[in-house]
Chains A and B, each alone.
Chain A
Amino acid sequence: MMRGDQANRLNNGGLIDRTAPLSFRFDGKNFLGFKGDTLASALVANGIKLVGRSFKYHRPRGILTAGSEEPNALVELRSGARREPNTKATTAELYEGLEAASQNRWPSLNFDVMSVNQLFAPIFVAGFYYKTFMWPAKFWEAIYEPAIRRAAGLGRAAGVSDPDHYDKAWAHCDVVIAGSGPAGLAAALAAGRSGARVILCEEDFVLGGRLLADGGTIDGLPAAEWIAGAVAELTAMPDVRIMRRTTLFGVYDGGTYGAIERVNDHLPVPPEHQVRQRLWRIVAKRCVVAAGAIERPIVFAGNDTPGVMMASAMRSYINRYAATPARRIALFTNNEDGWRTAETAIAAGLQVAAVIDARPDVSPAHRSLASKGGFPVLHGSVSAVDRGKAGVRKISVALTGGARAEVEADGLAVSGGWNPAVGLTSYHRGRPKWRDDIAAFVPDGAPPGMVAAGAANGAFGLGACLREGFEAGAAAARDAGRGGNIGSMPVADDEAFSLTPLWHVAGNGKAFVDQQHDVTASDVELAQREGFQSVEHLKRYTTLGMATDQGKTSNVAGLAIMAAVTGKSIPETGTTIYRPPYVPVAIGAFAGHHRDENFHATRLTPSHHWAAEQGAVFVDTGLWKRAQWYPRAGEKDWLESVTREVKAVRSGVGFCDVSTLGKIDVHGPDAGAFLDRVYINAFSSLAVGKARYGLMLREDGIVYDDGTTSRLAEDHYFLTTTTAKAGLVMQHLEFCRQVLFPELDVQLTSVSDQWAQFSIAGPKTRDLLKEIVDPAEDLSNEGFPFMGAREVKLRGGLKARLFRISFSGEMAFEISVPARYGEAMARNLMLAGKPFGVTPYGTEALGVMRIEKGHVAGPELNGTTTAGDLGLGKMMSTKKDFIGRVMAGREALTVPNRQVVVGIKPTDKARRLRSGAHIIPKGETPGPENDQGYVTSVCFSPVLDQWIGLGLVERGRERIGEIVRAHDPLRGEDYDVEFCNSVFYDPDGGRQRG
């Protein structure tokens, strides 16, 4: 294998494994890196400076940071169905065969056509979406938006289904710690030694945080050795769990934390049966936020030139990855900490071109470093960057006092100070407070149970980080009730920190605040001039901080510039509200395994497998799969099958699994009284051994649900609900029982899953039943009359519940057997019914027969109809109180012109009726003013040999025989229909009583 170029790789040092080379492709070219690299560090090692084009102006961009705050180095990672846009090269772990492509360029990264956008920059200024493209409205959808999306987009989604799995998991612990830098490790040591159950989350794949790049001496040991010792100690503790590649991204009520674990993102493809990512919900008594701080840029003209990099990131690349971003480095800093980059560069044998320090004074130690290193210290600011083909070439410096200087360098390190990562501590609408000494926002309180420590709390010195972390970890464990010996605190020196705030250097040329969204300093100023004074408005108008990096490197600078132009202080200007997630989290991780056929649970009826054998077509009704019809060979469409099933029932016998109905056993001496209060009609008067149709209202008087309830004993009723409302009615009845009517002695038991229930219907029903039921049971009209209900013994001794109720209008029974016998019952019915030509029927035939009988169902019980609307007003008892009684009597619910259920059929018998068609009087113009209702349910009636339907129509019942228009603009149809009795078939009900 080729050794590869890696011209910018140091020969020694770094946390990379030089014995493990990894090949990868970037924009179609082959490169080599090492195990331990990120994609960004491998690109740096290979001298790649240009990694993408910017969002609006398509400006060439390089790598700015070395962490999850990266705004520029976003790539499309992997290919095909696994292509993932907007992936940060700075956090993507290198693996063998990695493929990545730069984004937002066409045709190539080096020559991009869209960079002409820069010439039209005036139209892309702050608020351009609002100003330029708002009129005419139609143009937005058709022209502007697609054009903008093409020109100003980021990466491309894969466009096909994600082939990988994602997981969701819960974890519980005493103390969760975000971050494994010095503060996080110290916190984990203290909490772990106390005996606390600890979860330590680190988003990196290596523990150590800034120690990995900046080193230091802890307890007299080099940082790397101290980390190794600490990690070994923690690993040996049985109740400490270290989660690498895991970002704590949010905090939720009751000490619940969201974390995303990138389980296998560092592999080309997850191993078999493993997930790519896992979403954790961690419940913790205490949380220590040791998430560190983010170094902030200084805004100056040309600050987005490839080769301009955060000073700390430059140290990360040199020290951690042994990769040199430049050969001759200039440093622009306003603080002491930035100087470390000069030290690092010299130690790595690189040239330091100059240090441009915005502070009036530089420490004697640094002065002597400069003289030893032979580079000048320039007091002033960078005012411009001259860009060559390979990025930074020459830097213009405005010296304090007005003179100018130029520095030749191929890399510019920038340090504007550090911003504590205040996201997690601010997610419950917390507002961080301003600290003048470090010119940064720090947490001001935190959600209950959470505390920040170390750099996340504004304590930047190594000694302070260890101290704060250790103390926070010990306190958290103590609060969680753990009191073990915490041992001794790790100790290190504190470095001096001095900073002179500097946010923005005035100059010519574009100076970027938010590099990911291409928001410039002048955009912020323009927004202020146009009256966007509040930071929340500024954010939305300029889109500053609204990209996938959430403004981690830009928000505070934006506020500072806003403050400067308004003449207010930064704390007076305030921050926007912080919201999770801290890093982007894939929707796939939130969905977990709940996708495709596992999007929700699937409920199968007891006879499902038998029905599937029969070739049934299934339909989803809620969570249920129900047999819709049973096609037979030679049938050309569903209508032919359904029509056959209906005819078979009406002329012989058929059966249908109706187990999906909600079923509730109501027990107790007050069961009847209870049902009287929840149904509009009386049930206490129902005789034992009888069934009755019942209607329930909501308390506001609108119909809630219906079903048949039977009295099996003096103190035992069996109640059924519709399939859709099964769970809700149970909940409602429990509310009535527990909360409203506690004085009633009644108990409710959900038995929906306990009973398999079949409707057996047709003139030959009794013949079939006699083959199933014990011969001693009297099934005659006298022995088992219409609306009878009782327990019966089946042949073989099994007990069943038998109800003589009919939804089809035929002579019919419903039979319930324990659910485990459901499939056997279906097979038995087929076997025993063979001589009678028994026909299984599905929900379509069920629906056809209910429409023929004018029974209301879901389309009529639609949450707007009253009992009167459904033609069931007479059922409302006047002798008792019941839920919904008073409100049902309100004027608007009882006026005569309400839309009520009526039968509808086309005057042209050959015509198909469609539900949803609007009812318009003849001669009137279709429109809301003439709209009198609509068709709710339709079917082809085999009995009447034509399409029929039910509708909700103004005064419908008074208009039988009237001919009106069915107006259906959705389907472009308009035809005449006639109102008729809603009971199309056997209006006297003789067949079901026979």
Chain B
Amino acid sequence: MRIICPFCGERELGEFTYLGDAKPQRPAADAGEDAVYDYVYLRDNIAGVISEYWYHGGGCRAWLKVTRNTLTHEISAVEPAAGAGAAKVGA
């Protein structure tokens, strides 16, 4: 398996570290315990297309948001994860 890093090009899996689902966003400071609990622990176990975090530690050290099908391992998109997990202000 290879991932096309937007900064480094197509690179081998061993250069990357997996983190997990990129959907949850870190709640704002005043969001309360329940919201943070959900953020820390609750994950969907998706059979199909999921957006997830990968870290290009063996390359440019960018955190990437990779769209991958968990059934086929097909990767359909890779983009920088900049700001992907930030609290939604006013949400």
Which A residues have a C-beta under 8 Å from some C-beta of B? 252-254, 256, 283, 448, 699-700, 727, 730-731, 734-735, 738-743, 881, 886-887, 889-890
Contacts and interface: CB of A to CB of B under 8 A. Distances in A.
Interface string B40-81: 110000000000010101000111000000000111000011
Nearest to B39: A699
B83 A739 contact: yes
Contacts of A253: 1, 73
A739 B36 contact: no
B67 to A, nearest CB: 15
Contact of B1 (A256, A739, A741): A256
A742 B1 contact: no
Q: Secondary structure at chain A's binding surface: helix, strand, loop or mixed?
A: mixed
A730 B37 CA distance: 25
Contacts of B2: 254, 256, 283
Given A253-B73, A738-B62, 9 more contacts: A254-B2, A734-B61, A738-B80, A739-B83, A740-B85, A742-B82, A886-B36, A887-B37, A889-B33
Nearest to B53: A739
Given A734-B55, A738-B63, A886 B1 contact: no
Nearest to A741: B86
A742 B63 CA distance: 12
Contacts of A448: 74
A743 B86 contact: yes
B50 to A, nearest CB: 15
A42 to B, nearest CB: 42
B89 to A, nearest CB: 10
B33 A740 contact: no
17 contacts: A252-B1, A254-B75, A699-B39, A699-B40, A700-B40, A731-B55, A734-B55, A735-B63, A738-B62, A738-B80, A739-B63, A739-B84, A739-B85, A740-B85, A887-B40, A889-B33, A890-B33
B29 interface: yes
Nearest to A677: B29
A734 B63 contact: yes
A742 B83 contact: yes
Nearest to A699: B40
A739 B73 contact: no
B34 to A, nearest CB: 10
Nearest to A891: B33
A20 B85 CA distance: 70
Nearest to A447: B72
A727 B57 contact: yes
A779 B1 CA distance: 56
A776 to B, nearest CB: 39
- Please give me the 9 A-B residue pairs with the lowest Cβ-Cβ distance, nearest first: A253-B1, A881-B29, A742-B83, A886-B36, A739-B85, A253-B73, A738-B63, A254-B1, A739-B81
B19 interface: yes
A253 B39 CA distance: 31
B40 A738 contact: no
Interface in B4-41: 17, 19, 26, 29, 31-33, 36-37, 39-41
B61 to A, nearest CB: 6
Contact of A735 (B31, B32, B55): B55
A738 B1 contact: no
Contacts, number: 64
Instruction: Point out which of A448, A730, A735, A739 has the most chain B C-beta atoms below 10 A from its C-beta.
Output: A739
Contact of A740 (B26, B31, B80): B26
B32 to A, nearest CB: 8
A741 B39 CA distance: 16
B86 A739 contact: yes
B40 to A, nearest CB: 5
A739 B17 contact: no
B82 A739 contact: yes
Contacts of A730: 61
Nearest to A253: B1
A727 B61 CA distance: 11
B33 A742 contact: no
B82 to A, nearest CB: 5
A89 B75 CA distance: 43
A886 B85 CA distance: 17
Contacts of A254: 1-2, 73, 75
Contacts of A881: 29
A730 B36 CA distance: 23
B21 to A, nearest CB: 12
Contacts of B63: 734-735, 738-739
Contacts of B17: 731
Contacts of A252: 1
Contacts of A699: 26, 36, 39-40
A444 B26 CA distance: 45
B65 to A, nearest CB: 9
Contacts of A735: 19, 53, 55, 63, 85
Most chain A CB within 10 A, of B33, B36, B83, is at B36
Contact of A738 (B31, B36, B73, B81): B81
Contacts of B55: 731, 734-735
Contacts of A743: 83, 86
Nearest to A886: B36
B26 to A, nearest CB: 5
Contacts of B62: 738
Nearest to A283: B2
Contacts of B19: 735
A738 B80 CA distance: 9
Contacts of B33: 886-887, 889-890
Nearest to B34: A886
A674 to B, nearest CB: 13
A252 B72 CA distance: 11
A700 B63 CA distance: 21
A656 B32 CA distance: 46
Contacts of B57: 727, 731
Nearest to B68: A253
Contacts of A734: 55, 61, 63
Interface centre among A727, A743, A886, A887 (most CB of B within 10 A): A886
A741 B31 CA distance: 16
A727 B57 CA distance: 9
Contacts of A889: 33
Contacts of B37: 887
A890 B40 CA distance: 13
A448 B76 CA distance: 14
A684 to B, nearest CB: 16
A739 B22 CA distance: 10
B10 to A, nearest CB: 9
Interface centre among A256, A448, A700, A738 (most CB of B within 10 A): A738
A836 to B, nearest CB: 43
Nearest to B26: A740
A206 to B, nearest CB: 34
A604 B61 CA distance: 24
A739 B86 CA distance: 6
B39 to A, nearest CB: 8
A700 B33 CA distance: 11
B43 to A, nearest CB: 13
Nearest to A281: B12
A741 B62 CA distance: 14
Nearest to B27: A886
A254 B1 CA distance: 5
Nearest to B57: A731
B1 A740 contact: no
B71 to A, nearest CB: 9
A699 B74 CA distance: 30
A756 to B, nearest CB: 23
A731 B58 CA distance: 11
A381 B63 CA distance: 67
B62 to A, nearest CB: 7
Nearest to B30: A881
